[in-house]
């Protein structure tokens, strides 16, 4: 069979997927670009061309800058915490102890819990009047009176980050554990015989096996964290006093609450660009890491 | 690793206990809330264990009396099942031929990377035109419209998983059959697809879980019982003026049950899927 026929056949088989992708992703993306240069409303007027007005207004506005800082903080802190906790949990799960299999199975629970259910659960835990956190801390004598964890700008974002970490660190742990199990036993044994301490064994014997999978997890988690919407919408809707308003929440408010489709589109594209740059930087990092090992 | 002092062993067990508590406590508390009488949940100091087991919310939510909280809950449950089911089937239908083609024809594999790159797109970048498009076709607040939109997430994802699945089936089997005179459709139907059945099942389960979990598009594109999914219904409950927290917890338990059961049963397949690069958000 000739090469042309084989690749024509391949394209034919891919046609349904490509049609769907163009319909639900390609066209909307192009249309978002078009809308971002107009003052279109969500319903009613189709809007007229306004050049880069939307971009200018968004980039110089204080809400965008604040949302960018909030999103970055959320992404950096939650992903860093998930990585550290995940690796520590994986190192533990790689030890030999009774009940290890059961504990490994339990790690799937937070991951399997739907994001909205997780957000709802933590919202109940943080409840200012009847929440379990207030009850526990009071009964332990750590706080004198009940606090509104999600109602105070000083604590809301941290409370969200904890809820997000709880759901996502087990996933990092499972990925890291799979990598740890690939470390050949005789290498760790040899390092032990050579008198390497625990830190050196981790840094020079185990880390090379962990680096690749952890980097992939880091990339995917960072992109997810940068796009975060669900957990914040259910727990705080971006409040109080916009202290948890991330970029996705801001786009939602612009485009759907205030119905400013054009402005919302420009903001959405700025977010897309940021995520793309982030992903490209990571991809370069990954390629270098792959080349080094 | 071989010589472990008793101190180290004690440390391992203490850490394991701590990890178990951290992972389990919130989940157990969700369940306890769902079976505690309302008075226990608003007591100060809080009753950590129910004074009696109260299953009334499960009865409330699962009874289909008209215009009750239960009817609304069951409607959203059915909507979630329908949307996730339809989106999964459609995604698998377009992904299987594409994934096989990419797996067997390296020359076109760049197109797969283009498809996967769409994973980076934040849903907000597509939401406005999708909203206008659905409105234009009269598909807002419809399970069909929502299922269609879910293909933005499920189609790239399943194609990626299936492609690695087909890669694991040696092409030599297919070439051997071809030399023996089998036609391509026979090869696929009798040889490749049966061999790929397990990976197809895993991909379908993953896709179903993704759709079951989805919230953003469902929030935007549905407005009442005709299409509202479970995630939106629960967010409504959590953000509304429901005074019985046990009821909210019960809805959460019921919504979490299918994915948690699938997660526990499919443990091995899920973890190998996760570590091979496909990761649910």
- Spell out the SS3 assignment of chain A: CCHHHHHHHHHHHHHHHHHHHHHHHHHHHHHHHHHHCECCCCCCCCCCECCCHHHHHHHHCHHHHHHHHHHHHHHHHHHHHHHHHHHHHHHHHCCCCCCHHHHHHHCHHHHHCCHHHHHHHHHHHCCCCCCHHHHHHHHCCCCCCCCCCCCCCCCHHHHHHHHHHHHHHHHHHHHHHHHHCCCCHHHHHHHHHCCCCHHHHHHHHHHHHHHHHHHHHHHHHHHHHHCCCHHHHHHCCCCCCCCCCCHHHHHHHHHHHCCCHHHHHHHHHHHHHHHHHHHHHHHHHHHHHHHHC
What residues contact residue B152 under an 8 Å CB cut-off, 6+ apart? A24, A25, B118, B123, B126, B130
The reply to whether B144 touches chain A by the CB within 8 Å rule is no
ipTM of the complex: 0.91
Asked if the Cβ–Cβ distance from A130 to B42 is below 8 Å, we say: yes
| Cα separation, B128 vs A36, whole angstroms | 10
Is B134 within 8 Å of B149 (Cβ atoms)? Answer: yes
Name the residue ranges covered by the structural domains of chain A: 55-292
Token pair of A292, please? Answer: 């080094």
| Cα separation, A234 vs A181, whole angstroms | 37
| Cα separation, B188 vs B97, whole angstroms | 10
Judged by DSSP in three states, B182 sits in: coil
Please report residues of A whose CB lies closer than 8 A to that of B250: none
Name the residue ranges covered by the structural domains of chain B: 1-54, 70-275
In this predicted model, what pLDDT tens digit does every residue of A200-233 receive, in sequence order? 888 888 888 888 888 888 888 999 999 999 999 9
pLDDT at A285 over 60: yes
Token pair of A199, please? Answer: 């830190």
The reply to whether B151 touches chain A by the CB within 8 Å rule is yes
Q: For the structural domain made of A55-292, what CATH number should be given?
A: 1.10.3720.10
Share of chain B above pLDDT 90, in %: 54
The reply to whether A290 touches chain B by the CB within 8 Å rule is no
In this predicted model, what pLDDT tens digit does every residue of A33-61 receive, in sequence order? 999 999 989 887 778 888 888 899 888 88
| Cα separation, B174 vs B9, whole angstroms | 53
Within a 13 Å sphere around the CA of A41, how many CA atoms are in the beta-carbon half? 6
Q: Which of residues 176-195 of B touch A (CB under 8 A)?
A: none
pLDDT of residue A292: 61
pLDDT of residue A293: 53
- Assess if CATH 3.20.20.120 describes domain B70-275: no
What residues contact residue B186 under an 8 Å CB cut-off, 6+ apart? B177
In this predicted model, what pLDDT tens digit does every residue of A115-151 receive, in sequence order? 999 999 999 999 998 899 999 999 999 998 899 999 9
Average pLDDT over residues B157-182: 88
Provide the pLDDT confidence category of residue A268 given band limits of 50, 70 and 90.
very high
């Amino acid at each position: 069979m000739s090469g042309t026929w084989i690749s024509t056949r391949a394209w034919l088989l891919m046609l349904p997927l490509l049609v769907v992708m163009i319909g639900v992703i390609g066209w909307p993306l192009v249309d978002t670009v078009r809308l971002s240069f107009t003052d279109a409303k969500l319903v009613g007027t189709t809007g007229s061309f306004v050049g880069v007005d939307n971009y200018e207004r968004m980039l110089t506005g204080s809400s965008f800058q604040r949302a960018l800082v909030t999103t970055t903080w959320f992404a950096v802190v939650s992903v860093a915490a998930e990585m550290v906790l995940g690796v520590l949990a994986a190192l533990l799960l790689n030890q030999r102890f009774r009940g290890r299999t059961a504990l490994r199975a339990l790690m799937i629970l937070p991951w399997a819990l739907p994001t909205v259910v997780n957000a709802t659960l933590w919202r109940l835990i943080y409840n200012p009047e009847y929440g379990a956190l207030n009850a526990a801390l009071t009964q332990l004598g750590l706080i004198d009176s009940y606090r509104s964890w999600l109602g105070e700008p000083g604590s809301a974002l941290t409370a969200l980050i904890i809820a997000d970490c709880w759901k996502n660190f087990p996933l990092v742990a499972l990925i890291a554990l799979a990598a740890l199990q690939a470390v050949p036993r005789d290498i760790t044994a040899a390092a032990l015989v050579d008198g390497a301490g625990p830190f050196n064994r981790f840094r020079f014997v185990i880390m090379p096996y962990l680096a690749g999978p952890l980097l992939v997890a880091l990339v995917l988690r960072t992109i997810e964290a940068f796009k975060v919407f669900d957990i914040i919408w259910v727990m705080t809707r971006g409040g109080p006093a916009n202290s948890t308003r991330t970029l996705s929440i801001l786009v939602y408010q612009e485009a759907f609450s205030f119905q400013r489709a054009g402005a919302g589109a420009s903001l959405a594209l700025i977010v897309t660009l940021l995520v793309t740059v982030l992903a490209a930087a990571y991809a370069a990092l990954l390629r270098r890491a792959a080349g080094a090992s | 690793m071989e010589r472990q002092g008793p101190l180290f062993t004690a440390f391992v067990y203490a850490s394991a206990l701590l990890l178990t508590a951290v992972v389990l406590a919130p989940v157990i508390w969700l369940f306890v809330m769902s079976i505690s009488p309302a008075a226990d949940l608003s007591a100060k100091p809080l009753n950590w264990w129910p004074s009696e087991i109260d299953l009334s919310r499960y009865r409330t939510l699962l009874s289909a009396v008209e215009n009750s909280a239960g009817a609304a809950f069951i409607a959203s449950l059915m909507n979630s099942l329908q949307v996730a089911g339809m989106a999964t089937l459609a995604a698998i239908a377009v992904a299987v031929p594409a994934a096989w083609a990419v797996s067997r024809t390296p020359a076109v594999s760049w197109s797969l990377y283009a498809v996967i790159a769409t994973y980076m797109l934040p849903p907000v970048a597509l939401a406005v035109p999708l909203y206008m498009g659905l409105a234009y076709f009269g598909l807002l607040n419809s399970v069909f419209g929502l299922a269609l939109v879910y293909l933005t997430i499920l189609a790239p994802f399943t194609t990626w998983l299936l492609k690695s699945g087909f890669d694991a089936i040696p092409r030599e089997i297919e070439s051997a059959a071809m030399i023996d005179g089998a036609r391509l459709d026979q090869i696929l139907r009798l040889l490749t697809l049966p061999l790929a059945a397990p990976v197809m099942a895993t991909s379908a389960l993953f896709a179903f879980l993704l759709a079951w979990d989805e919230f953003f598009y469902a929030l935007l594109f549905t407005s009442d019982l005709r299409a509202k999914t479970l995630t939106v219904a629960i967010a409504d409950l959590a953000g509304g003026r429901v005074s019985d927290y046990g009821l909210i917890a019960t809805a959460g338990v019921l919504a979490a049950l299918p994915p948690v059961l699938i997660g526990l049963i499919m443990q091995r397949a899920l973890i190998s899927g996760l570590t091979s690069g496909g990761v649910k958000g």
